[in-house]
Amino acid sequence: MAKAITKRSENYSQWYNDIVKVADLAEYSQVRGCMVIKPYGYAIWEKIKDQLDKMFKETEHVNAYFPLFIPKSFFNREAQHVEGFAKECAVVTHYRLKVDDESKKIVVDDDAKLEEELIVRPTSETIIWDSYKNWIQSYRDLPILVNQWANVVRWEMRTRLFLRTAEFLWQEGHTAHATKEEAMEEAMKMINVYRTFAEEWMALPVYSGHKTENERFAGAINTYSIEAMMQDGKALQAGTSHFLGQNFSKAFDVKFLNKEGKLEYVWATSWGVSTRLIGALIMAHSDDNGLVLPPKLAPLHVVIVPVYRKPEQLEEITKTVNEKILPGLREKGITVKYDDDDKYKPGYKFNEYEVKGVPVRLTIGIRDIENGRVEVVRRDTLEKNFYPLDNIADTVEKLLNDIQNGIFKKAKDFRDSHTHKVSNFDEFKEVVNNGGFALAYWDGTTETELKIKEETKATIRVIPFDIDQNKTKGKKDVYSGKDAKYKVIFAKAY
RNA sequence: CGGGGUGUAGCGCAGCCCGGUUAGCGCGCUACGUUCGGGACGUAGAGGUCGUGAGUUCGAAUCUCACCACCCCGACCA
């Protein structure tokens, strides 16, 4: 065993690191906290990106691109926003290097100091709203429904591949609207897009709902979030959508003339998901044998491994594969690789594709051709079966569907069985400490929320949309014992 | 920023305490041969500014000082 994977039960976070490594998704670079996303990891990001981009366009959004650098002064405009990001900004102070006369080494040229420092964007609200000021004069200019695919930098203290890196890739939608209602609707629409994407494409069941005031995005009036459960029972915030009210339009003085001829401030939203989704994918579905990917996001759906001894045998297998397998699969839009590389043995290949989470493997040898069959292995269950060569494309197509649905169900069953209603604080602590979501009543105060966090490290992940909050009457807060306002999900989070 | 740790071949490490010829080991890599239905084996080989700088010494991977970088555990975060 050249590539050992730590078992989840032994050390969950080491297991995660091992998966990233053996599946060849990413590695740390020479730059602190920054990762190199390797081709296979990037291919997954491209699948995510392509589908989301399609969904954004279906909801009438367009893409644009804004600068990487933001003048420092822009951050002064929105007080809460600065406060949220100031502590983790990379700052550009100079624009030139020179060779030092004495040491002969490259040094920063002190003569090339910037008049005003530039901040490497931690998020783009400020620079975008500065532009929107010029774009918007009339209600006829609204709405603006723009998305940007970009990288951002947040100088985090502690980083983890995909989950929290100093630089990460994401998309950020920034919309401007004439009315409050329309903006609120937009924020809700986009959290639902995220939810659909998570559940239908990532096979990742999520709870969606409001964030509490304390957990809100810096500068937002309201933040919606989708929260997923990882296999250690911890929560991962997988996507957020914010109703920003008029905070940014006021900060950047973006007004429009309405139909009545009156000047009004514009209403805003922003929403984003990042390469963190790849971390979610890994931690939700993978097992001790390696990565497990939902077929809809797998860069490669099917790999075909030939088994042979002599060149003539390989030739015969190749002929069969080319004639009877590849065309049918490709016709169905299934991505397939025939790995006839003679440098590696079948056993090596089996493991290679298994750790990389390729959903379906076909193994074919001379014996199989004689019997008109092929061995089919599904990655999620590792089940092996022989199927007739004849309608193999249909078989594989159905199998891919089964896997997509199967891993969603598995993840949902896991989440549901680790989500518990708790009626007192002892139960609460037990659920949260054992890894799980606690459904509990909350009195609605930040004070209680913070005390619970201090004692248990659990936070309110979300005030779920699909819980009728009117039914909290007569219920008591799980910690304070005061009258409950909401029924919420508490958990330890990444 | 507080606490701990590590820098030696592409990767993972030993050697350092107690200085001494040519700096080792495993994996990986290259060539050839035998293998090939779950990570094959043999033989031969290539690969090193011992993190950087200064000092002690006849002699430094090893001792001293400074610096740099990274990792782990906390507080903060998508």
The Cβ of residue A222 has, within 10 Å, a number of other Cβ atoms equal to: 18
**How distant is C1' of B61 from CA of A28, in Å?**
27
**How distant is C1' of B59 from CA of A107, in Å?**
37
Q: What is the CATH number of domain A295-414?
A: 3.40.50.800
Out of A99-103, A112-116, A286-290, A363-367, least confident range:
A99-103
Q: What is the CATH number of domain A419-491?
A: 3.30.110.30
Q: What is the pLDDT of residues A53-75, one digit of tens each?
A: 999 999 999 999 999 999 999 98
Cα dihedral: A418, A422, A426, A428 (round 10): 50
Q: Closest nucleotide (CA of A5 to C1')? A: B39
Q: What is the rounded average pLDDT of the residues A103-128?
A: 87
* Spatial CA neighbour of A77 closest among A150, A144, A123, A127: A127
Positions 288-307 of A with beta carbon below 7 A from strand B are 289, 307
- Is A477 near strand B, with its CB below 7 A from some atom of it? no
Distance, in Å, from the CA atom of A325 to the CA atom of A306, rounded to the nearest integer, reads: 12
Positions 426-445 of A with beta carbon below 7 A from strand B are none
Average pLDDT along chain A:
93
Distance, in Å, from the CA atom of A92 to the CA atom of A172, rounded to the nearest integer, reads: 22
Positions 305-364 of A with beta carbon below 7 A from strand B are 307-309, 345-348, 350-352, 354-355, 361, 363-364
Positions 3-42 of A with beta carbon below 7 A from strand B are 3, 13, 22, 28, 31-33
Distance, in Å, from the CA atom of A125 to the CA atom of A74, rounded to the nearest integer, reads: 10
What's the confidence (pLDDT) of residue A97? 82
**How distant is C1' of B43 from CA of A346, in Å?**
24
Tokens at A474, concatenated:
């007569």
A22-285: CATH class: alpha beta
Distance, in Å, from the CA atom of A382 to the CA atom of A85, rounded to the nearest integer, reads: 45
pLDDT of A8 > 70? The answer is: yes
3-state class (DSSP) for residue A105 = coil
**How distant is C1' of B59 from CA of A178, in Å?**
81
What is the 8-class DSSP label of residue A296? G
Identical fold between A22-285 and A419-491: no
* Spatial CA neighbour of A338 closest among A372, A309, A362, A355: A362
Label residues A161-172 b or e (16+ Cβ within 10 Å = b).
bbbbbbbbbbbb
pLDDT of A102 > 70? The answer is: no
The domains of chain A are located at 22-285, 295-414, 419-491
Q: What is the rounded average pLDDT of the residues A402-425?
A: 96
Positions 147-176 of A with beta carbon below 7 A from strand B are 154, 156-160, 163-166, 168
Q: What is the rounded average pLDDT of the residues A392-406?
A: 98
Out of A157-161, A297-301, A473-477, least confident range:
A157-161
